[in-house]
Amino acid sequence: MNFRPRLREEPEINLIPFIDVLLVVLIFLMLSTTYSKFTELQLTLPVADADAQRDYPKEVLVTVTSDGAYAINKVSVAGRSVDALAAALLDGAKAGKESVVIISADASAKHQAVVTVMEAARRSGLSQITFATQSATRVGSK
């Protein structure tokens, strides 16, 4: 008989596989969770006519046709050079340097024609430039 006390091995808990499993579960939850954005305040915004709010004297409407012809405030420009367009922009800017240039270009107009309008506006000192777009509902109703 063996009466010597047995040396018991202490159980050892290996934490590395446990951490690996937790990280996999965490990644799965992060990827599968959808986040919803809830608004806290329900607002009803006032409705206004957009044309009534526009300040027409400060606007210079530049139209670029598909063949590269220009019109400023619905008046055709004789030349297609930057200098001729800059002179016409200065004549059409009723508010002076405070005027906003609105470029309304045809969808098939060349990129260079729009860049020419931007360069002419820069030369004439008009730094506020915006582009007119058409909503998708208006395009579909034509």
pTM of the model: 0.56
DSSP 88-135: HHHHH-TTGGG-EEEEEE-TTS-HHHHHHHHHHHHHTT--EEEE----
Which range scores top for mean pLDDT: 24-33, 37-46, 53-62?
24-33
What are the sequence ranges of the domains in the chain?
Answer: 69-134
Q: What percentage of the chain has pLDDT greater than the value 70? A: 77
Q: To 10 degrees, the CA torsion angle through 114, 118, 123, 129?
A: 150
Distance between CA atoms of residues 116 and 62, nearest Å: 11
Rounded to an integer, what distance in angstroms lies between the CA atom of residue 126 and that of residue 99? 7
